[in-house]
């Protein structure tokens, strides 16, 4: 173990899996050039695996359908990169109408071992068609498994499990995490974090924070800076069938208060589904309704100033934490940042 970046974890994890399994191949736009895609996640793979790094034209409907058909045949395991998750809307028929439904349509007799990688770019000023958080959209379609690693270590373990899964798996990355460092493997990358297992990353008793991806470290930072005894849970697996209700329930019964934290807008929200489920499952354990922290009702803008006004950052998280404390008759510790 050593300090490595999130991007290094992606590259090394994919390299290890492609070395181990000759049936894994990658396809997507520009994954063979630039600096290894637009952010360097596939740097060096084209030179190492020239026959298994397949560049594609700007035709998401075509190459996602190709990958779905290959996966359905059962021999190969495609790893598809959608440069930005918004582009999945171009391929919506293949992604949601075909790939998501295939195992259900054929009574579980057909496998669909496809992994889709994509990155959330909220906060970059890339504009409305390049900044979607795809969790809410994919969670609408039974069949997709969804993981959102927040650390280099978790990325490798969850990707390894995704590449063994017979269901389609969406792996959500985040641009804000790419250059962040954390503990990760240097040599033995052959470990697995099971899909469907959340992780308590900060124990506490005042309230439970449900977070994922780049919001997980920000939730911990806000709680530390405010001196608030919040318990932060990194959901990691986001599909409804994969939510870890055992871990969530144990925390809710301890704190009796829940905050659902997400970075993106109120519309196309992932947190709405989780909030509804939490309040129905744990109604008797809650002292007050689930508090939601989410962005505004706006599409991202190429103006970073306007974009910042619409998504969640540390300021909004602190305000949300203060609100849940106030609603429960408490206040942030004196002298700390609220």
φ and ψ at residue 8, rounded to 5 degrees:
-65, -35
Annotated active-site residue 12? The verdict is no
Pairing of strands 230-234, 207-211: parallel
Beta carbons of 214 and 177 less than 8 angstroms apart: yes
End-to-end C-alpha distance for the chain, whole angstroms: 35
Alpha carbon 275 to its chain's center: 17
Element (H, E) at 23: none
CB atoms within 10 A of CB 324: 22
Beta carbons of 240 and 147 less than 8 angstroms apart: no
Annotated active-site residue 104? The verdict is no
Q: In what order do the strands lie in the sheet with 199-202?
A: 199-202, 230-234, 207-211, 258-261, 291-293
Catalytic residue among 32, 130, 174, 294: 130
Closest CA to 39 of 85, 9, 83, 4: 83
Distance CA 196, CA 69 (A): 26
Distance CA 316, CA 303 (A): 19
Q: Which two tokens stand for residue 1?
A: 């173990």
Closest CA to 136 of 245, 234, 262: 262
Report the sign of the C-alpha dihedral through residues 224, 225, 229, 232, in that order.
Answer: negative
Catalytic residue among 60, 81, 262, 316: 60
Q: Which residues are catalytic?
A: 60, 130
């Amino acid at each position: 173990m050593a300090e490595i970046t999130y991007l290094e974890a992606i590259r090394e994890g994919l390299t290890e899996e492609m070395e181990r399994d000759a049936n894994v191949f990658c396809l997507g736009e520009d994954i063979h050039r630039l600096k290894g895609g637009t952010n360097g996640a596939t740097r060096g793979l084209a030179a190492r695996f020239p026959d298994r790094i397949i560049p594609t034209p700007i035709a998401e409907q075509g190459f996602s359908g190709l990958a779905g058909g290959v996966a359905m045949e059962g021999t190969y395991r495609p790893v598809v990169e959608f440069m930005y998750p918004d582009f999945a809307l171009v391929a919506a028929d293949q992604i949601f109408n075909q790939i998501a439904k295939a195992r259900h349509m054929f009574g579980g007799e057909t496998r669909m071992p496809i992994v889709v990688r994509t990155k959330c770019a909220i906060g970059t000023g890339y504009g409305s068609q390049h900044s979607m958080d795809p969790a809410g959209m994919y969670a609408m379609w039974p069949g997709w498994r969804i993981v959102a690693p927040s650390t280099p270590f978790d990325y490798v373990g969850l990707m390894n499990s995704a590449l063994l899964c017979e269901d389609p798996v969406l792996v959500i990355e985040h641009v804000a995490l790419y250059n962040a460092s954390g503990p990760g493997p240097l040599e033995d990358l052959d470990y697995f974090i099971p899909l469907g297992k959340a992780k308590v990353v900060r124990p506490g008793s005042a309230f439970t924070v449900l977070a994922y991806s780049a919001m997980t470290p920000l939730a911990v930072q806000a709680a530390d800076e405010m001196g608030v005894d919040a318990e932060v849970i990194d959901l990691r697996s986001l599909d409804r069938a994969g939510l870890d209700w055992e871990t969530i329930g144990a925390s809710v019964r301890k704190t009796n208060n829940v905050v659902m934290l997400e970075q993106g807008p109120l519309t196309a929200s992932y947190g709405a589904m989780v909030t509804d489920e939490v309040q129905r499952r744990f109604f008797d354990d809650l002292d007050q309704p689930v508090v939601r922290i989410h962005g505004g009702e706006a599409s991202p803008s190429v103006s970073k100033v306007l974009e910042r006004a619409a998504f969640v950052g540390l300021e909004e998280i602190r305000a949300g934490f203060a609100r849940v404390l106030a609603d429960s008759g408490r206040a942030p510790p004196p002298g700390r940042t609220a």
